[in-house]
Structure formats: C-alpha cells, structure tokens
Amino acid sequence: MTFEQIKNDENKYMMHTYGRFETALVSGKGAVAKDVEGKEYVDFTSGIGVNCLGYCDEGWVKAVSEQAAVIQHMSNLYYSPLQTELSQKLCELTGLDKVFLCNSGAEANECAIKIARKYSYDKYGEGRQRIVTLVNSFHGRTVTTLAATGQDVFHNFFFPFTEGFAYAKANDFDDLKLHIDDSVCAVFVELVQGEGGVMPLDKEFVDAVVSLCREKDILFMVDEVQTGISRTGAVYCYQNYGIKPDVITSAKGLGGGVPIGACLCTNKLADVMTAGTHGTTFGGNPIACAAAKEVLSRVTSKEFLDEVKKKGDYFREKLMKMSNVKRVTGMGMMIGIETEKDNAKEIAQKCVANGLLILTAKNMLRLLPPLNITYEEIDKGLAILKNIMEA
Ligand SMILES: *Cc1c(COP(=O)(O)O)cnc(C)c1O
C-alpha cells in the first residue's frame, strides 16, 4: 500500500476526527518510527506521552506477548493477581492507598469526578457537587470531562453538558478563591497543563490551593494523565511540589503503549466507591496490567528519574540556543517551545517532512520524547529541528 491509498481509504471509511500529519506509521524501534514507504523519523512525541520506553522495547514486548499467551482477559467478577500486584506497586510509588483500574485518561478522570461528588454527598448531602478546574485545562473527551475542561472551544455542539464545573485562572489564587463556596467539593488540576500549552503551575499557587482545600474539606485532585509516569522527573508530578493530593489520575505512559488508566485515592476516600457504583469491562485487563508492571519496574528508580531530569536539561540548553526560540517551558521531558515567529504548526509540519515527529499545544511546539531516548537520538532530532527553525 502507498501513503496515498491509505489516505484515500481513511477519508472514505473513517470519521474525520483528526487533523493528521502527512505520514502513515507502520513500525518502530526505540525513538525511531518508520512509515509505510520506509522513511524513518526521530520521534519526540512517544504517541503523545504513551510509549515511554519507545517503540517495541524488548522487555515490554516480552511482558505483553508472554501475558497474551497465558490469559488475555477475564471479567472483573474474578480476582486478579496482576491487578493486585500493579495496584500495590502504584500505592507504594505514590503513598496513596486505593486504586481503580480503567482504560484511558478520560475514564480515570470520570472516576475522580464521581469520587469527589459521592464523598461529598455521603458526608454533606445534596448541593455540594461543584468542581473547580482551571482555565486552559484539558481533562478528556467524554461529555463530562469536556465540561471539566476549562476551554470554551470544547463546550460546543454536544449540549447539554454535565453541570457543576467552574473554571479558575491558573496561578491566580485570588481568582480561584472567588470560585470557592459551600457548593464546591473538589479542585481538580494538571500541575503542568499539557494540551493548554505546557504551562507549569507555580509552587506558591499550588501550596495556597492545597491549604485552602484542607481547611474546607475540599478534595485536591491532580490529573497526572500527561505528567505522570516519570515524565517530569518524578514518578508523578505532584512529588516535585512536595504535596499529597487526595486523588490522582494516570493513563498515557502507564501502559507504555497499551490502553490502561488508573484513579488513585487516599484512605479517607477508600470506601466512597462501593460495589455497583462504578465498574468497567476492560479495566485492569491482564495484558495492560503486565505492560504497566513492566513500565513501572523500569522508569521509577532514582537513577532513571535523575536521567530524565538530565535529558530534560540537555534539551533545554540546546533549544535555548536555537533561532526562532522565544521561550522554553515545562518540566523534565515535558517541554514546550514558544516560537518568535508564532509558527509552531508550520514548524511541526516541516519537521515531519524532514524526518522528525513533534507535537504542538496551542501556540507552542511540544516535545514528549520516549523517556529512554538516547543522547544520539536527541542530537539527531534536534539537528533536524534546528535546520527548520533557522530556515
Ligand atoms: C490526554 C489527556 C487526557 C485524556 O486521556 P485519554 O486517554 O485520551 O482519554 C486527560 N487529561 C490530560 C491531562 C491529558 O493529557
């Protein structure tokens, strides 16, 4: 098949939900992807922060393929040692106490939203259901997580949206306080806004929000779907802030390339969700759990986290010297680049044409490279980017 055939068939048989780059990927190894015509690309995207060990990592392939040959699925009506092992590992890594396993970021966030509302309903009764999220946030594509997303462009067409969300300005505690009253049960934030433009929250802002939440028994919940799994130099980004959320959500990098999500809560919330209040057919699937166990065993040591920080610094240092770079944002290997010429989309398209996969977020270029990318691969990708930025 040629690229043109694939593109025609996509147009003919698929809903037009994506503005796709001009390439069809068919294989990959490490941080290098190959398209249908045999052309290679250095990959600074990891499939939007998913392939944290790169393409087809040996240990990951072994974990997934061996599990597929043992038991590929059973229903959540039965106990699963893989689910309990993965959940124990997640609790040990985070200091949180209870896990719900699901299949995606949006689903993990739905679980968090349900926990917040039911905790408050159980304890205070009706009327305390509002959740404050941040302007420019992104929390998913279901009708409720779209409503949670603090961007007007997502609040169209699909009316009526789920009620009960309010949007406060990021890094503006006075504005956030204006949204806090007796109807609020939770504050829900990304610590580095991903889709919103790779924008980290200030520590002072986060500290102030956390203590306000503590004072009023409002849950502090962190969407770690993009920032989690060692992306920012800590296993979960909240660990960089020295805080402990009541709830965190995880997905993207958790399975290293298979669909899995998780919602974690502390013991205070351990009994909020009961049999019959939540569930999923696929969540905690054995193959996904085996993949996630392998990922966590590989990316969470202190040495690995130090290396993520080092590589993030290396990227920053090189990027700051490039022409057309106005500002470099983010944390660890979650990197945003504001361009002088405000031409991020155009740069990203040119990169693909020249053998480099790169993302955008709002007006920013965005890099989410595989966490185990080599310095050689980094240099190769940055050389391509440099040429295009200079042109
Ligand atoms: C990607 C993302 C989501 C949605 O995850 P899906 O797996 O696509 O449902 C939610 N929150 C954040 C912060 C994300 O980056």
Please give the pLDDT value at position 194. Answer: 97
Helix (H, G, I), strand (E, B) or coil at 325: strand
Per-residue pLDDT tens digits of the chain, which is 391 residues long: 999 999 999 999 999 999 999 999 999 999 999 999 999 999 999 999 999 999 999 999 999 999 999 999 999 999 999 999 999 999 999 999 999 999 999 999 999 999 999 999 999 999 999 999 999 999 999 999 999 999 999 999 999 999 999 999 999 999 999 999 999 999 999 999 999 999 999 999 999 999 999 999 999 999 999 999 999 999 999 999 999 999 999 999 999 999 999 999 999 999 999 999 999 999 999 999 999 999 999 999 999 999 999 999 999 999 999 999 999 999 999 999 999 999 999 999 999 999 999 999 999 999 999 999 999 999 999 999 999 999 9
Residue 223 CA to ligand 1 centre (angstroms) = 8
- CA distance linking residue 238 with residue 266, whole number of Å: 14
Atom of ligand 1 nearest to the CA of 141: 9
Nearest CA among 278, 231, 276, 220 for reference residue 254? 231
Find out whether 260 and 233 touch, Cβ atoms under 8 Å.
no
139 lines ligand 1 (CB under 6 A): yes
- CA distance linking residue 366 with residue 345, whole number of Å: 10
Mutate to test the pocket of ligand 1, among 46, 144, 226 (most ligand atoms within 8 A of CB): 226
Peptide bond before 160: cis, by omega within 30 degrees of 0?
yes
Complete edge-to-edge strand list for the sheet that includes strand 219-223: 98-102, 261-265, 247-250, 219-223, 184-189, 130-134, 165-168
- CA distance linking residue 335 with residue 198, whole number of Å: 7
Residue 321 CA to ligand 1 centre (angstroms) = 32
231 lines ligand 1 (CB under 6 A): no
Q: How far is CA 4 from CA 1, 249, 266, in A?
A: 8, 39, 51
Mutate to test the pocket of ligand 1, among 225, 231, 238, 359 (most ligand atoms within 8 A of CB): 225
Helices (H) and strands (E) in the chain, counts: 12, 17
Within 10 angstroms of residue 65's Cβ, the number of other Cβ atoms is 11
Residue 292 CA to ligand 1 centre (angstroms) = 17
223 lines ligand 1 (CB under 6 A): yes
Instruction: Decide: residue 40, CB within 10 A, 0-12 exposed, 13-18 middle, 19+ buried.
Output: middle
- CA distance linking residue 172 with residue 175, whole number of Å: 5
49 lines ligand 1 (CB under 6 A): no
What the chain holds in terms of domains, given with CATH numbers, is 3-57+301-389 (3.90.1150.10), 71-299 (3.40.640.10)
* Its pTM surpasses 0.95: yes
